[in-house]
Structure formats: C-alpha cells, structure tokens
Amino acid sequence: MCPTMTIEHRYDSDVSTPEARRALHEQNRRSWNEATRAHNSHKADQAKFLREGGNKLFPEEIGLLGELTGKSVLHLQCNSGQDTLCIKQLGAKRVTGVDISDEAIDFARRLSADSGLEAEFHRADVYDWLEEAAKYSERWDVVFCSYGAIIWLSDLGLWARGIASVLKPGGRFVTVEFHPVEMMFEMDLSHRYPYSTHGRPLTWEEGVGDYVEQSGPSLTPSGWKDGVRDFKNPEIVHEFHWGTAEIITALLDASLVLEHFQEYDYATFKMYHRMEALPGRKWKLPDDVPGFPLMYSIAARKPR
C-alpha cells in the first residue's frame, strides 16, 4: 500500500545494478524499522490473543492456503510475524518467516516465545535469503506473501525464480494482495499515480506511514490501543509498482503453473477517506464511486 498517500514523490533513484537495488532495499529496511514500532504500538496483547486461539487471517487467505496439517510454510516479507504464527495455528508442521526489518523480526521472535507458537524467523533481504535457501536445498510445501508485499520487490523475475527454487515439486505459491489499480488513487480518490512503474522506483519522502492508525481497529483483532500519535517517519522509502500481468508473467516464466486468479471489489484495509465498513473487518468504496478492483489473489503450483 502507498505508505504516505500524498503527492510528495519522485522517480530519480538508480536501479541499473544489483548494488543500486540493494541500496534501495537497505533504505527501505530503515524506514520499516521506524514504522514497525508505531504499528505495533496500536495492537493490544497479541500473545494472549494467539494463546487463546485467535487468528487474524482473513477467509481469503485461509481458503487459498488450504489444508496445512503436516505441511511446511515459508512466509516471505512476514513483517512482525503475526500472520506467520496464525498460519501455525492452522496446523502447519513447520513455519518460517523472513523479513528485511530488524524491528519486525525481533518482535516476531518475542511474539513466538510469548504465544507458545513455534516458528523460525530470519532477518534478511528476501533476494539474499531465497538464494541461500536454494543453495542449501531447503524446500517448502507452500510459499506465502500478502497485503503490501509485492510493491517492495525491485526485480519480479528474480523473486519468482527464487520462489520456484524453494518450493517442493507439487508445492504452491499463494498470495492475497492489494490491487495495482487501487494504488493509482490518492486517499481522496483522485487519480494521481501510474498503474505500473515497471520496476522504476517510486520514492516517498515521508517514508512508511502508520497505516494501522489510519485503518483503526479493523487491523487489530487482538484489541486497539492509541499508541503512537501523529507518527512521522524520518526515513524515506522506495516502492516498485507492478501490474497484475507482470506479476503473473514472472511466475509463469519461473515455470510455475497458474491455478487461481481472482479480483475483489472490497479490501481488508481502509485505503481512502470515504470508504465504508463491511462485516468481517473489510471495507468498500462509497456508493457514489464507480467500482474498481481493490485486491487480487493468485495461486500457482510447481510441477512435479
């Protein structure tokens, strides 16, 4: 999701070499470290919520993940590990989370210990981690990412090939994501941004924002706390907007077989000021705004 939702952006960052892209990833790490503290400040006792059997995943993710009993699940760009541990709640035998943010992984490890739900968490750039995992022949039944993960990817092809390399034969990649059409609009629903930047970084001077405060209790099923007020991120951030065809093509080019693609006219996040709440912690466009897709989901399988 757009972390700032303002017009204070630019397109002048270098992505001509792997080193240049890595520098952008490292800047994003710093911005996410700042924002993650603010995000978690609004969430009440998450360990207690999990210990009592709470699960914050939405039906869309649960349905696509399918039966997980006895399976291994790799959660890429797992943020602070809440969804990773909810996947463990669904019966997965082995759960692994990877995220670039030090703050997020530190929190995830504490939450795992405090909730009693076992999971491995690794602090790493997703590209580096996938490369290392493939070298050591580590393989998973399911690879998962969701909600605002893909806009942080500077190279879709490398990402998709990395996923294919760590899936077991017959294993599945699953994602539920915010739609790139949704990213074209400001919070006042004015059309400001391109459908895709085709890998060109979009730099936001205001950094990753406090979208948890923006969306309110719908993102905090464990309970809401006021937490940090009027958060200002001192670290800029770089996004990479991709169209759905670019994402699907990258997966196909990595020899994965597309099994599912769906678009949704509602969202699990309050993206615009005038959105209206729906049951189940979801949001829709106001009735006077012509509809457009707000989320999509993909499932793809590695051939046996």
Q: What is the pTM of this model?
A: 0.94
Residues 50-99 pLDDT 10s: 999 999 999 999 999 999 999 999 999 999 999 999 999 999 999 999 99
Work out the angle at residue 13's Cα, subtended by the Cα atoms of residues 9 and 16, and round it to the nearest 5 degrees. 150
β-bridge mates for residue 97, sequence order: 75, 121
What pLDDT is recorded for position 1?
40
Residue 4 has pLDDT above 80, yes or no: no
Q: Kindly state whether residue 2 falls inside one of the protein's structural domains.
A: no
Domain count, the chain: 1
**Domain boundaries, position 94:** 9-301
Asked if residues 256 and 301 have their Cβ atoms less than 8 Å apart, the reply is yes
Residue 3 has pLDDT above 70, yes or no: no
- Report the CATH number at residue 235: 3.40.50.150
Residues 147-196 pLDDT 10s: 999 999 999 999 999 999 999 999 999 999 999 999 999 999 999 999 99
The three state secondary structure string of the chain is CCCCCCCCEECCCCCCCHHHHHHHHHHHHHHHHHHHHHHHHCECCHHHHHHCCCCCCCHHHHHHHCCCECCEEEEECCCCCHHHHHHHHCCECEEEEEECCHHHHHHHHHHHHHHCCCCEEEECCHHHHHHHHHHCCCCEEEEEEECCCHHHCCCHHHHHHHHHHHEEEEEEEEEEEECCCHHHECCCCCECCCCCCCCCCEEECCCCCCHHHHHHHHHCCCCECCCCCCCCCCCCEEECCCCHHHHHHHHHHCCCEEEEEEEECEECCCCCCCCEEECCCEEECCCCCCCCCCEEEEEEECCC
Residue 281 has pLDDT above 90, yes or no: yes
What pLDDT is recorded for position 16?
80
Residue 2 has pLDDT above 60, yes or no: no
What pLDDT is recorded for position 8?
57
β-bridge mates for residue 297, sequence order: 176, 262
Count of positions (residues) in the chain: 304
Q: Kindly state whether residue 1 falls inside one of the protein's structural domains.
A: no
What pLDDT is recorded for position 214?
81
- The strands making up 167-178's β-sheet, listed across from edge to edge, are 120-123, 94-99, 72-76, 140-146, 167-178, 295-301, 257-264
Q: Kindly state whether residue 4 falls inside one of the protein's structural domains.
A: no
**What is the mean pLDDT of the segment spanning 107-118?**
98
**What is the mean pLDDT of the segment spanning 123-150?**
96
Residues 269-280 pLDDT 10s: 999 999 999 999
Residues 190-247 pLDDT 10s: 999 999 999 999 999 999 999 998 888 888 999 999 899 999 999 999 999 999 999 9
Tokens coding 91 = 């019966």
Q: Kindly state whether residue 3 falls inside one of the protein's structural domains.
A: no
Query: When comparing pLDDT for 197 and 10, which is higher?
Result: 197
Distance of CA 44 to the CA centre of its chain: 21
Residue 304 has pLDDT above 70, yes or no: yes
Q: Kindly state whether residue 108 falls inside one of the protein's structural domains.
A: yes
Residue 7 has pLDDT above 90, yes or no: no
Asked if residues 255 and 79 have their Cβ atoms less than 8 Å apart, the reply is no
Residue type, 81: G
